[in-house]
Amino acid sequence: KAGVTQTPRYLIKTRGQQVTLSCSPISGHRSVSWYQQTPGQGLQFLFEYFSETQRNKGNFPGRFSGRQFSNSRSEMNVSTLELGDSALYLCASSWGVGGRSPQFFGPGTRLTVL
Amino acid sequence: KQEVTQIPAALSVPEGENLVLNCSFTDSAIYNLQWFRQDPGKGLTSLLLIQSSQREQTSGRLNASLDKSSGRSTLYIAASQPGDSATYLCAVILSSNTGKLIFGQGTTLQVKP
């Protein structure tokens, strides 16, 4: 079974631009979550989606948004990029809702904002 | 507010040693706890998941225990190998209605040949 895939793997943008990251979950998984990882703040929760519905949202500004499609693939968008948005963005998929099954992570997208 | 702490932040041991990584959480009302491994610049690999009703889980040389009442979990690695070198993260989930993982800062392990 293929694992969680994320595209692109690396991205360089400039301040003020916007970016879209993509996540394809493990086949059969319907839940996708997104996390931001930085050296200072560690891993912080962004969103959780299940069956195209956002179930939970972390404490991030409205510039961060996401969505999930009917095939469970998910995208997250960051508008008006700031230097502090430079981070590794990780998505995770799981079979069921919430914490009832283990979560499996993708390799991440490394975003650098100049 | 739930906070997860991992001590020590870094650990260096010679190959072959048995070692214990610690994770503590401030609110004992958790749904489950998961241990992950992260290699430099990579994503997270799930190691073990312990439901709140369980006391421990084992996978190969790894054993994770959970003591909800004291807000603690330990990850025991037997006969450590250089390939075990990585950052180990624990994370808790607060309820069955959310998949939000609350992570500790991790313990970076180096196993020297």
DSSP letters, A2-71, are ---EEE-SEEEE-TT--EEEEEEPPTT--EEEEEEEETTTEEEEEEEEETTEEEEE-S--TTEEEEE-TT
DSSP string, B2-31: --EEEE-SEEEEETT--EEEEEEES-S--S
- CA angle, residues A59, A61, A65, in degrees to nearest 5: 95
CA distance A27 to chain B (A): 17
- Do the Cβ atoms of B46 and A56 come within 8 Å? no
- Phi–psi pair at B88, nearest 5 degrees: -110, 130
Of A2 and B35, the one with more pLDDT:
B35
3-class secondary-structure state, position B96: coil
- Report A:1-30 residues touching B (Cβ under 8 A): 4, 6
> Cβ contacts (< 8 Å) between A45 and chain B: which residues?
100-102
- Phi–psi pair at B45, nearest 5 degrees: -110, 125
Tens digit of pLDDT at every position of chain B (113 positions)? 889 999 999 999 999 999 999 999 998 889 999 999 999 888 999 999 999 999 999 999 999 999 999 999 999 999 999 999 999 999 999 888 888 999 999 999 999 99
Q: Which residues contact B60 (CB under 8 A, 6 or more apart)?
A: none
A56 interface with B at CB cutoff 8 Å:
yes
Give the number of C-alpha atoms closer than 13 A to the C-alpha of residue B69, restricted to the C-beta side.
Answer: 1
Adjacent-strand bridge partners of B88: B37, B107
pLDDT of A101 over the 90 cut: no
A62 interface with B at CB cutoff 8 Å:
no
Residue of A45, A93, A112 best to disrupt the B interface, most CBs of B under 10 A:
A45
> Could you give the CA distance from residue A32 to residue B69 in angstroms, rounded to a whole number?
30
pLDDT above 70 coverage of chain A, percent: 98
Question: Residue B16: its pLDDT value, please?
Answer: 97
- Do the Cβ atoms of B99 and A94 come within 8 Å? yes
Q: How confident is the model at residue A57 (pLDDT cuts 50, 70, 90)?
A: very high
Residue of B42, B44, B90, B108 best to disrupt the A interface, most CBs of A under 10 A:
B44
